Structure 1
Amino acid sequence: MTTAFRSAERPAPPPRPRPGSNALARELRQRGRRRLLREDFLTMLAWASGAASVALYLADGGAAQFNNLTTATTSIGIIAGLIGTDLVLVMLLLAARIPLIDGTVGHDRAMEIHGKLGKPALYLILAHMVFLLIGYGLTDRLNPFAEGVSMWNSLPDMWIAFISTVLFILVVVTSLVAVRRRYPYEFWYVVHLLTYAAVLTALPHQFSEGQLFSPGQWQRWYWIVFYLVVLAALLRYRIWAPIALTFRHQLSVTRVVSAGDGAVSIELTGLRLEELTGAGGRFFIWRFLAPRLWWHHHPFSLSADPAAGRLRITVRNLGKGSAALMAVKPGTKVAVSGPYGLFGHAARTRPGLVLVGSGIGITPLRAILERAEFEPGEATVILRASTPETLYLRDEIAELCRQRGATMYELIGQRARHGNPWLPRHQTGLALSNYVPNLKASDVYVCGPKKWADAVLKDAKSAGLSDEQLHHERFDW
């Protein structure tokens, strides 16, 4: 079934540019350019940190070590360790939920880069250990294994360095998709906290007297400052910010109402909720402070913009953690942090707006639609579901489309096996461009299961859209 509040059977003609549309386009272009400049700046800083770690080592006497095989081997190991440590600290900054990073590249992309750096960091740290054992072994005329035993026995803090390496290996191995899918998210999350333990256990042998970062060297101060910046970011944004936000807004559950097949809307009240206006689409991390619930944290987007002192999230029963929320009791206090991500107004680059959602992924689109900037006729909403019962918040979205002059399509049915698999079977010969005549002048927001969303994004890219026009909220971890 297809429903359109502008054209029931045929695609609408491309809208004519309006003065307001042109002004919005200029504003979005300027906003996009500023974000790209910030991204270039952050990328430059990341590369510069690695280059600085090597340059300072070479300037503090490391360059003179490349005069024979033994000292050159040791120096290669030291450089590998420096770059590996630098990558680990960059990873921690990417995971610190710093507003500058989150507002520039978004949470999903920051965590994607964070994950990609894990293996190179581990390989460099392992190379650091192997080359040092070989280099020191050549000096002491011992094989690498014997040298390792000697270092363990003779250097008081070296056993901690070996433990640090083992912890890094555990973190990387448990981060592999094939491994982490075998365990609940909470198990993986706790194991992932070993990254902090690994960094802490690596500190003593780095800063001990007579080692690489001995007093009087420039690189000693560089690494002290780097570590303090990372520590400050983690304390400020991962620990203090959620505590402060929770006490500031004092959220509690007021009621839980059915939102369709296997889903509920949880309504909350609190203080100063108008400060969260415009956060639609972006997600918060919620922790319901009740028995058997408090230790689960849930990344949910708002399903309605804050109004009259109320917030609302819509949750579907997709597993053990979310199933427990189906019966959360009114009065339950809620800890919250956020908002995070670029799945919202700040990511817009074009005056046209296309919102494509499937299943529970429909609900964040409702909050975006509520406050998004667009002229009548320049927004299209596509709701995808296997059955009418899973068109969550359908009536609310339809009413918003009527009020704001947006076109809405309901695509219901089993997924197509050929053509565009994000469409129902009876529409397999169509594409996203058939529903959105001004597609190339639009931003496309996609929210739903990963494989389905990937198919929508592939369809959009085949129509000529650039990556900056595509916005995707992931449901996997």
Structure 2
Amino acid sequence: MPTQITVRPDPRQFPSSSRVNYQRRFVRRSRRADLLVISLWASGAAAAALFLASGGAGQFGSLAETVTSMGIVAGLIGTDFILVMLVLAARIPFIDRTIGHDRAVAVHRALSKPALYLLLGHGALLLIGYGMSSGINPIAQIGPMLALPDMPLAFIAMGLMITVVVTSLVAVRRRFSYEGWHLVHLLSYLSVAFALPHQLSVGGVLAVGTAQRVYWIALYVVAFGCLITFRFVEPIVSSLRHRITVAGTTTIAPGVTSIHLSGHNLRGLGAAGGQFFIWRFWTGTTWWHSHPISLSAVPTSSTARITVRDLGSGSARISAVPVGTRVSIEGPYGLFTDAARTSPKVAIIAAGIGVTPIRALLDHARFAPGEATILLRASTQEETYHWDEIRELAAAKGARCYVMVGRRSRVGPGWISEQDALRGVTLAGTFPDLADSDLYLCGPTAWLDLVEADARATGIPQHQIHAERFDW
């Protein structure tokens, strides 16, 4: 076993998780989540069905008409997927509470390639279909097509969308800073806006007075309405209402700083331990940066705290913001909270700066003495951020707390320290009740992947694993 920290449970009574039917709550949330994801994917089929039901089914009389109609269907489905992606990017509270930020991002990314391929197919099939009808080759058809109303905007929209999708590829995305990648992704909004005019003016598919025109205009209004409301209006209103400023900073280790915040009615933010906000610090050198950072302490009525590690120029600059700096926020986001529990017990493993959402999670979570087991992992003593606070919370709530310090083992599970691997420490040995536990993981992505793989090898169901990765 790794080193155990002796805990002395507070004599106060804590509510037992047996009083809450976590499994029943999980089943209800899972059904809502699956229904939401299915409906998002099925919306593409609905777009095609509406076209076919509105006369499109009769436009397959010749080969040229068939190719052209297939191009129209591909464009409608692709556009539908793009609008769904915008809805997922809007960070709507209902979607965040139902499937969580991580799954919403995963569905958003999963839709990006099909959407691009469908839109590319849309353009290629229309060029071929129109070329077959007019008796000229598809490349020569580009000239007459550009002469149609609003078509130059459509070609620009396609170029912008290709740029956005390419920068979303993992190998390319890692070459960008978060701010640079975010700026490029703003082009997706411009792309959709540029594509709309040609839908309404070209081809007669969305002719005035048709049900399709009403449907698609409504879909655009919903997508952009959600974006404007939840990405711009609501964050501005929330920031003005809570009036958050920097109250001070504390260096807790070389390159790691806690930023203490003050504000008005911060409990009104509705933040749970384990969630994160998008923070913007209004100084001359940081105002254009937005930072997704987890809380490291649950907000009180007037205070909150985040802890930042200097991993780049952006995070280094916000670590030195002066007292009194105004802060704007978006959030809270994420399901890395007690609300995600499905089982009567809790297992928690955190490494490095990954202890920050874990510390807030422990502050907020409700469990009885003996129901939670915590393992804190660090490569060196200098990386034991907030460990004293976590030990105090563990002691107060009657949780077992183990610590593991040392470089990672080169044999066996690569996430365990070398010393503990030689002693035969295992995941199952440290957490004997893992099968009946929710496993919360947070830390560097490569390390976390190893822990998650080790956990899956024990047979724990995927829905009992909750991983918070510090990537985007």
How many residue pairs get aligned? The number is 464
- Counterpart for residue 11 of structure 1: none
Do residues 35 (structure 1) and 29 (structure 2) align?
yes
**1:373-412 CA deviation, whole Å, 9 max, x = no partner?**
1110111111111101101001111111111111111111
Q: CA deviation at 1:416?
A: 1.0
Q: What letter corresponds to residue 131 of structure 1 in structure 2?
A: L
Residue from 10, 18, 21 that aligns with 1:22? 18
Matched residue of 2:4: which SS? coil
Which aligned pairs between 1:4-403 and structure 2 lie closer than 5 A? 4-6=4-6, 20-24=16-20, 26=21, 28-153=22-147, 155-208=148-201, 211-276=204-269, 279-307=272-300, 309-403=302-396
**1:153-175 CA deviation, whole Å, 9 max, x = no partner?**
3x131111111111111111111
Q: Tell me how far apart the structure 2 counterparts of residues 463 and 269 of structure 1 sit (CA, whole Å).
A: 44
Do residues 438 (structure 1) and 433 (structure 2) align?
yes
After TM superposition, the structure 1 stretch with the greater mean CA deviation from structure 2, 78-87 or 211-220, is: 211-220
Do residues 466 (structure 1) and 461 (structure 2) align?
yes
Do residues 448 (structure 1) and 443 (structure 2) align?
yes
CA 268–144 in structure 1, closer or farther in 2 if over 3 Å, else same: same
CA 277–225 in structure 1, closer or farther in 2 if over 3 Å, else same: closer
**1:248-304 CA deviation, whole Å, 9 max, x = no partner?**
110011110111232111101100012246511110111001111011111111111
Q: Tell me how far apart the structure 1 counterparts of residues 328 and 178 of structure 2 sit (CA, whole Å).
A: 19
- Counterpart for residue 10 of structure 2: none
Q: CA deviation at 1:306?
A: 1.7
Q: What letter corresponds to residue 424 of structure 1 in structure 2?
A: S
Matched residue of 1:166: which SS? helix
Q: What letter corresponds to residue 148 of structure 1 in structure 2?
A: I
Matched residue of 1:106: which SS? helix
Matched residue of 2:331: which SS? strand
Q: Tell me how far apart the structure 1 counterparts of residues 105 and 89 of structure 2 sit (CA, whole Å).
A: 6
Q: CA deviation at 1:78?
A: 0.5
Q: CA deviation at 1:220?
A: 1.2
Q: Where does the alignment leave 5 or more consecutive residues of structure 1 unmatched?
A: 8-17
Q: Tell me how far apart the structure 2 counterparts of residues 20 and 380 of structure 1 sit (CA, whole Å).
A: 15
Q: CA deviation at 1:211?
A: 2.3
TM-score w.r.t. structure 2 length?
0.95
Q: Tell me how far apart the structure 2 counterparts of residues 271 and 417 of structure 1 sit (CA, whole Å).
A: 49
Q: CA RMSD of the aligned region, Å?
A: 1.6
Q: Tell me how far apart the structure 2 counterparts of residues 416 and 209 of structure 1 sit (CA, whole Å).
A: 63
Q: Percent same amino acid at aligned positions?
A: 51
Q: Is residue 265–residue 301 contact of structure 2 (8 Å, CA) maintained in 1?
A: no
Matched residue of 2:164: which SS? helix
Matched residue of 1:146: which SS? coil
Q: What letter corresponds to residue 190 of structure 2 in structure 1?
A: A
Q: CA deviation at 1:463?
A: 1.3
CA 44–183 in structure 1, closer or farther in 2 if over 3 Å, else same: closer
**1:321-341 CA deviation, whole Å, 9 max, x = no partner?**
111122111111100111101
- Counterpart for residue 420 of structure 2: 427
Q: Is residue 70–residue 125 contact of structure 2 (8 Å, CA) maintained in 1?
A: yes
Matched residue of 1:458: which SS? helix
**1:311-370 CA deviation, whole Å, 9 max, x = no partner?**
011111111111112211111110011110111111111121112111111111111111
Q: Is residue 157–residue 191 contact of structure 2 (8 Å, CA) maintained in 1?
A: yes
Q: Is residue 15–residue 366 contact of structure 2 (8 Å, CA) maintained in 1?
A: no
Q: Tell me how far apart the structure 1 counterparts of residues 263 and 80 of structure 2 sit (CA, whole Å).
A: 41
Q: CA deviation at 1:19?
A: 9.3
**1:73-108 CA deviation, whole Å, 9 max, x = no partner?**
000100110110011011111111011111111111
Q: What letter corresponds to residue 160 of structure 1 in structure 2?
A: L
Q: What letter corresponds to residue 473 of structure 1 in structure 2?
A: E
Q: Is residue 149–residue 201 contact of structure 2 (8 Å, CA) maintained in 1?
A: no
Q: Where does the alignment leave 5 or more consecutive residues of structure 2 unmatched?
A: 8-13
- Counterpart for residue 406 of structure 2: 413
Q: Is residue 70–residue 136 contact of structure 1 (8 Å, CA) maintained in 2?
A: yes
Q: Tell me how far apart the structure 2 counterparts of residues 278 and 438 of structure 1 sit (CA, whole Å).
A: 29
Q: Tell me how far apart the structure 2 counterparts of residues 198 and 327 of structure 1 sit (CA, whole Å).
A: 37
